[in-house]
C-alpha cells in the first residue's frame, strides 16, 4: 500500500553508452525513390539519429519531468510509476490521464499547467483538475511486467486501486491511443467512482452489415478509406506486437536506432525533441519487450460484449484516426459529447494542447 517518492536520475554512464551505440549504427540499404512505402525512410531516421547524437539534451527533459512530483507504488504485484500534480484550487476534480504506444507520460506535459491551474492560464478556476498521470504497466518506469495478463482490463483495475490509494473517491479519466481503450474500462470497472471518460479515439468499426453504410456521408466514407489505408500500410507494429513481441524485442533492445525507427513510424512530422524524449523512456528503461507485450495481452484477452455505462466524450483532431460517429454511437449508448477539430493530430495533448485542454474542461463541466 505504500507510495514512494521517485526522481528520474539516469547515470551518465548510460548516456555515454547510448552515444557509443549511436555512433556504431549499421545503416540498412534502401531502394531509391520509394519514400515511406517500404517503411520508415533511411534519411528520416538518419536525421533524427544525428540530432540525438549532437543536439538533443536528455538532461533538459529529465529536469522538466522532475519538475512534477513523481511516485511509485506496487499494485497487483506490479510496480506503477506516476506523476501526481495537485491543483492549487481546493475544489479541483481529480483526473487520471493514460497514454499509449509509442507514447508515454511525455504526451501530457504541455497540458499539466493549464489543467491544474487554469487561473494562471486565462481560464476559469472552477475548471481545475488534480492530475494523476501513470505509465502503463510495462512502459517506462512502470516496467517491466513480470507476469502475463497485463491487458487493458487489468490496467483499468490497477488505475482504480491507484486512485483509491491516493484518496480519490470521485474522479474522471482521460485517454489517448491505448489510453482510449483503458479509460472506458476504468469506467466499467469503477462506475460508482468514475464520473466521466474523455478520449481522443473511439475504435468502433463497421460490422459488415450493408445497411450500416446507407446514407454514410462523404466525410465518413473518407474516414473509412483513411482507416483502411492505415491498416494496410501502417499496421505492422500492431500485427507483430500482438503476435511476436519477444522476437521483436531482441532487435529493439540491442539498438537505439532500431528502437527509434520502430517508434518513429507513428511519430511522423512531429518535432524531434518530442520524438526522442518518448524514445528515451523506452530505451533507458529497457521497455521494448514489456511495452510490446501490452498488444499481445490485449489481443488475447476475453473482451466484454456489453457496453460501458459511464458517460463518454470524444475529441477528434485532424490527422488522427477519424472516429465515425454512427458506429461510435452504435457501440456506446453513453456517448454524450462529440467534438471535431480542424488541426491537431494523434498526440493532441502535444500537438494541440489548447484544443484538448478546452475540450476536457468543457466535457467535465457536466460532472462538477
Which residues are designated catalytic?
177, 295, 346
State residue 199 phi and psi, 5-degree precision.
Answer: -130, 165
Cell numbers that stand for 194 in this block: 468514475
Q: Which residue bears the cell 457501440?
A: 331
Sequence-distant (≥ 6) Cβ neighbours of residue 96 within 8 angstroms? 131, 132, 133, 134, 159, 162, 163, 171, 172, 173, 174, 183, 186
Burial class of 9 by CB neighbour count within 10 A (0 to 12, 13 to 18, 19+): exposed
User: 194-199 and 312-317: which strand pairing?
Assistant: parallel
| Cβ-contact 200, 367 below 8 angstroms | no
Rounded to 5°, the CA angle 7-171-92 comes to 75
Amino acid at each position: 500500500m505504500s507510495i514512494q517518492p521517485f526522481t528520474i536520475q539516469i547515470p551518465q554512464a548510460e548516456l555515454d553508452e547510448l552515444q557509443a551505440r549511436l555512433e556504431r549504427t549499421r545503416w540498412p540499404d534502401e531502394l531509391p525513390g520509394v519514400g515511406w512505402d517500404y517503411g520508415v525512410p533511411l534519411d528520416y531516421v538518419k536525421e533524427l539519429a544525428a540530432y540525438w547524437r549532437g543536439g538533443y539534451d536528455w538532461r533538459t527533459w529529465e529536469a522538466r519531468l522532475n519538475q512534477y512530483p513523481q511516485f511509485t507504488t506496487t499494485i497487483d504485484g506490479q510496480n506503477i510509476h506516476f506523476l501526481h500534480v495537485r491543483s492549487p484550487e481546493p475544489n479541483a476534480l481529480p483526473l487520471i490521464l493514460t497514454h499509449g504506444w509509442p507514447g508515454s507520460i511525455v504526451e501530457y506535459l504541455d497540458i499539466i499547467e493549464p489543467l491544474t491551474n487554469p487561473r494562471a492560464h486565462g481560464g476559469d478556476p472552477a475548471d481545475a483538475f488534480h492530475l494523476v498521470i501513470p505509465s502503463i504497466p510495462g512502459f517506462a518506469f512502470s516496467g517491466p511486467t513480470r507476469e502475463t495478463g497485463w491487458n487493458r482490463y487489468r490496467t483499468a483495475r490497477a488505475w482504480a486501486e491507484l486512485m483509491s490509494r491516493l484518496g480519490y473517491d470521485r474522479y474522471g479519466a482521460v485517454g489517448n491511443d491505448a489510453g482510449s481503450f483503458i479509460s472506458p474500462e476504468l469506467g466499467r470497472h469503477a462506475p460508482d467512482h468514475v464520473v466521466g471518460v474523455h478520449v481522443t479515439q473511439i475504435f468502433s468499426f463497421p460490422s459488415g452489415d450493408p445497411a450500416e453504410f446507407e446514407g454514410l456521408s462523404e466525410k465518413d466514407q473518407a474516414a473509412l478509406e483513411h482507416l483502411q489505408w492505415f491498416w494496410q500500410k501502417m499496421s505492422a507494429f500492431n500485427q507483430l506486437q500482438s503476435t511476436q513481441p519477444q522476437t521483436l524485442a531482441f532487435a529493439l533492445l540491442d539498438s537505439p536506432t532500431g528502437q527509434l525507427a520502430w517508434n518513429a513510424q507513428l511519430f511522423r512530422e512531429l518535432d524531434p525533441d518530442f520524438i526522442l524524449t518518448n524514445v528515451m523512456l523506452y530505451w533507458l528503461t529497457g521497455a521494448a519487450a514489456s511495452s510490446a507485450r501490452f498488444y499481445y495481452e490485449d489481443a488475447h484477452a476475453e473482451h466484454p460484449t456489453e457496453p460501458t455505462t459511464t458517460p463518454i466524450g470524444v475529441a477528434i483532431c485532424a490527422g488522427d484516426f477519424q472516429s465515425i460517429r454512427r458506429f461510435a454511437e452504435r457501440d456506446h449508448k453513453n456517448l454524450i459529447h462529440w467534438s471535431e477539430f480542424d488541426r491537431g493530430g494523434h498526440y493532441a495533448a502535444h500537438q494541440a494542447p489548447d484544443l484538448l485542454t478546452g475540450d476536457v474542461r468543457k466535457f467535465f463541466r457536466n460532472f462538477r
